[in-house]
Amino acid sequence: MRFRDEYWFLSNFYPTKTWGYPSAEHAYQAAKTDSEVEQKHFMTLATGQQAKAYGKRVTLTPRWKNEDYRLKVMRTVVYGKFAFNEELRKKLVATGDLPLVEENWWGDTFWGTCNGKGQNWLGRILMETRAIMTCRACKQAFLPDQYDEDSFGLYCDECQAPMEPAQEALVAGYTLQDWQNLDPEADEQHD
């Protein structure tokens, strides 16, 4: 599937506020640098395409060499995109069990697939996010942030079913502060 037409909302270039940036692409690209000036400049760019182009010129943080760091940033960005937009969250959950594959023609085999080959990390992260935001009991979209003070569990807004422990563990990992906590000397593949 291509993230176009009815599935354009899955693209990081889709214009929707994400962690305060104009799109998920803006937020992802801004994470490439520690420079506050460069990060703020992303806020002024009108499109995800402009953000991607500018992201190729920023001063890279040493952490950017770490594949695990880049994947964690993408997970955080994608989670934020859907967590703070109820309409998009419902659309994501409405894809059900549909495999989300970011097919492309430009040869990106890390984030997507080209000619049926690739790791499809963006699609995998979207499917992880969909699983987190889908109530197992009623299959409705929910934002897993409703805490019950008596049991300290997370509950669905629709049916009040508790979130499964695996979902709670996944939700715990999605914070922007985590970007700064990865070891820059770790795995340096996929620059």
pLDDT given for residue 144 in this prediction: 54
CB of 111 closer than 8 Å to CB of 52: no
Mean pLDDT value of segment 36-54 = 97
Report the distance separating Cα 161 and Cα 153, nearest Å.
10
Q: What is the mean pLDDT of the chain?
A: 82
pLDDT given for residue 95 in this prediction: 95
Query: Is residue 145 scored above 60 in pLDDT?
Result: no
Whole-number percent of the chain with pLDDT over 70: 76
Residue 35 confidence class, pLDDT cut points 50, 70, 90: very high
Residue 36 confidence class, pLDDT cut points 50, 70, 90: very high
Query: Is residue 182 scored above 60 in pLDDT?
Result: no
Residue ranges and CATH numbers for the domains of the chain are 5-134 (1.10.357.40), 136-172 (no CATH)
pTM listed for this prediction: 0.80
Q: Which two tokens stand for residue 84?
A: 């703070």
| C-alpha pair distances (Å), 6 with each of 47, 81, 92, 95 | 19, 17, 11, 11
Query: Is residue 79 scored above 70 in pLDDT?
Result: yes
Q: Which comes out higher in pLDDT, residue 113 or 178?
A: 113
